[in-house]
Amino acid sequence: MRLPGLLLSLAVCCCLASHVLGQCIDTYEPGCKLTAEVGYPQRHCIDPTKYWLCPTLNGKAQLFKCQTNTAFSQERNACISWVDWVWKPCVEPPSRPTGWQPCNQN
Protein backbone atom coordinates (compact mmCIF):
# COMPACT_ATOMS: atom_id res chain seq x y z
CA MET A 1 0.00 0.00 0.00
CA ARG A 2 2.94 2.35 0.59
CA LEU A 3 4.48 1.78 -2.85
CA PRO A 4 1.70 3.56 -4.86
CA GLY A 5 1.92 6.60 -2.55
CA LEU A 6 5.69 6.66 -2.87
CA LEU A 7 5.49 6.41 -6.65
CA LEU A 8 2.93 9.22 -6.78
CA SER A 9 5.16 11.43 -4.60
CA LEU A 10 8.13 10.68 -6.82
CA ALA A 11 6.15 11.55 -9.96
CA VAL A 12 5.01 14.88 -8.46
CA CYS A 13 8.59 15.76 -7.46
CA CYS A 14 9.84 14.97 -10.97
CA CYS A 15 7.17 17.18 -12.53
CA LEU A 16 7.96 20.08 -10.20
CA ALA A 17 11.70 19.73 -10.72
CA SER A 18 11.30 20.12 -14.47
CA HIS A 19 9.97 23.67 -13.92
CA VAL A 20 12.68 24.87 -11.53
CA LEU A 21 15.32 27.10 -13.10
CA GLY A 22 18.96 26.17 -12.63
CA GLN A 23 21.22 28.39 -10.58
CA CYS A 24 23.05 31.01 -12.59
CA ILE A 25 26.80 31.03 -12.04
CA ASP A 26 28.63 34.09 -13.34
CA THR A 27 32.42 33.88 -13.20
CA TYR A 28 32.76 37.44 -14.58
CA GLU A 29 34.85 36.21 -17.49
CA PRO A 30 36.11 39.23 -19.46
CA GLY A 31 35.50 39.52 -23.20
CA CYS A 32 39.01 40.77 -24.06
CA LYS A 33 37.47 43.28 -26.48
CA LEU A 34 39.15 46.40 -25.11
CA THR A 35 42.84 47.30 -25.06
CA ALA A 36 42.61 48.08 -21.33
CA GLU A 37 41.80 44.40 -20.63
CA VAL A 38 44.93 42.97 -22.25
CA GLY A 39 47.42 41.89 -19.60
CA TYR A 40 45.17 43.16 -16.79
CA PRO A 41 44.20 40.42 -14.28
CA GLN A 42 40.51 40.27 -13.36
CA ARG A 43 38.93 38.38 -10.49
CA HIS A 44 37.07 35.08 -10.96
CA CYS A 45 33.93 35.70 -8.93
CA ILE A 46 33.14 32.13 -7.93
CA ASP A 47 36.60 31.00 -6.86
CA PRO A 48 38.77 33.67 -5.20
CA THR A 49 41.89 31.56 -5.76
CA LYS A 50 41.58 32.19 -9.52
CA TYR A 51 41.74 35.15 -11.88
CA TRP A 52 41.20 35.88 -15.59
CA LEU A 53 43.82 37.34 -17.91
CA CYS A 54 43.34 38.47 -21.52
CA PRO A 55 46.47 37.50 -23.47
CA THR A 56 45.50 39.36 -26.65
CA LEU A 57 42.90 41.78 -27.92
CA ASN A 58 39.79 39.87 -29.05
CA GLY A 59 41.29 36.62 -27.76
CA LYS A 60 39.80 34.26 -25.18
CA ALA A 61 40.46 35.04 -21.52
CA GLN A 62 42.69 32.51 -19.79
CA LEU A 63 42.04 31.29 -16.27
CA PHE A 64 44.94 31.22 -13.80
CA LYS A 65 45.17 29.86 -10.27
CA CYS A 66 46.95 31.59 -7.39
CA GLN A 67 49.63 29.77 -5.43
CA THR A 68 48.63 27.66 -2.42
CA ASN A 69 47.29 29.66 0.56
CA THR A 70 46.67 32.79 -1.51
CA ALA A 71 43.65 34.46 -3.11
CA PHE A 72 43.31 37.09 -5.82
CA SER A 73 42.82 40.69 -4.70
CA GLN A 74 41.22 42.95 -7.32
CA GLU A 75 42.47 46.04 -5.44
CA ARG A 76 46.10 44.89 -5.60
CA ASN A 77 45.79 42.99 -8.91
CA ALA A 78 47.75 40.16 -7.37
CA CYS A 79 47.42 36.98 -5.36
CA ILE A 80 47.78 37.75 -1.65
CA SER A 81 47.81 35.75 1.57
CA TRP A 82 44.41 34.52 2.79
CA VAL A 83 45.11 36.38 6.05
CA ASP A 84 45.09 39.69 4.14
CA TRP A 85 42.28 38.84 1.70
CA VAL A 86 38.89 40.48 2.29
CA TRP A 87 35.73 39.62 0.35
CA LYS A 88 34.41 42.46 -1.82
CA PRO A 89 31.64 42.48 -4.42
CA CYS A 90 32.83 41.56 -7.90
CA VAL A 91 33.53 44.32 -10.41
CA GLU A 92 31.87 44.00 -13.81
CA PRO A 93 34.54 43.45 -16.48
CA PRO A 94 34.85 46.16 -19.16
CA SER A 95 33.57 43.72 -21.81
CA ARG A 96 32.02 40.26 -21.95
CA PRO A 97 32.56 37.31 -24.33
CA THR A 98 30.44 37.27 -27.49
CA GLY A 99 27.14 35.54 -26.79
CA TRP A 100 27.25 36.14 -23.03
CA GLN A 101 23.86 36.72 -21.41
CA PRO A 102 23.24 37.97 -17.88
CA CYS A 103 21.73 35.61 -15.32
CA ASN A 104 18.37 37.37 -15.21
CA GLN A 105 17.69 36.64 -18.90
CA ASN A 106 15.18 33.88 -19.71
- The 10s digit of each residue's pLDDT in 25-56 is 889 999 999 999 999 999 999 999 999 999 99
The three-state DSSP-derived secondary structure of 46-100 is: CCCCEEEEECCCCCCCEEEECCCCEEEECCCCEEEECCCCCCCCCCCCCCCCCCC
How far is CA 24 from each of CA 4, 28, 49, 74, 104, rounded to the nearest angstrom?
A: 36, 12, 20, 22, 8
Per-domain boundaries in the chain: 25-92
What is the residue-averaged pLDDT of the chain?
85
Query: 79-92: buried (b, 16+ CB within 10 Å) or exposed (e) per residue?
Result: beeeeebeeeebee
pLDDT of residue 15: 45
Q: What are the residues whose beta carbons fall under 8 Å from the beta carbon of 35, sequence distance 6 or more?
A: 57
Condensed to tens digits (0 to 9), the pLDDT of residues 61-92 reads: 999 999 999 999 999 999 999 999 999 999 89
